[in-house]
């Protein structure tokens, strides 16, 4: 759950930098969210032709 929260926080940092900065601090991170690395793509997840998503 923590990894997902950190990933979403990093991804949102481009559109809501001040809000995300506060969330980043609440997650216990010492450095700035702007210094965090972007998530890496898992090639194994790109092998499916179709994915079912419930909306």
Q: Please name the residues in contact with 27: beta carbons below 8 A apart, sequence gap of 6 or more.
A: 2, 5, 6, 9
Q: Tens digits of per-residue pLDDT, 6-45? A: 888 998 888 988 898 889 999 998 888 888 888 888 888 7
Distance CA 1, CA 15 (A): 22
Tokens 């969330």 found at: 23
Q: What is the reported pLDDT for 36?
A: 87
pLDDT at 48 over 80: no
What sign does the dihedral 17-15-53-51 (CA atoms) show? Answer: negative
Q: What is the reported pLDDT for 54?
A: 93
Distance CA 47, CA 43 (A): 7
């Amino acid at each position: 759950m923590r990894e997902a929260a950190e990933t979403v926080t990093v991804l949102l940092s481009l559109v809501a930098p001040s809000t995300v900065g506060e969330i980043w601090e609440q997650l216990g991170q010492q450095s700035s969210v702007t210094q965090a690395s972007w998530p890496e793509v898992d090639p194994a997840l790109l092998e499916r032709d179709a994915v079912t998503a419930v909306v």
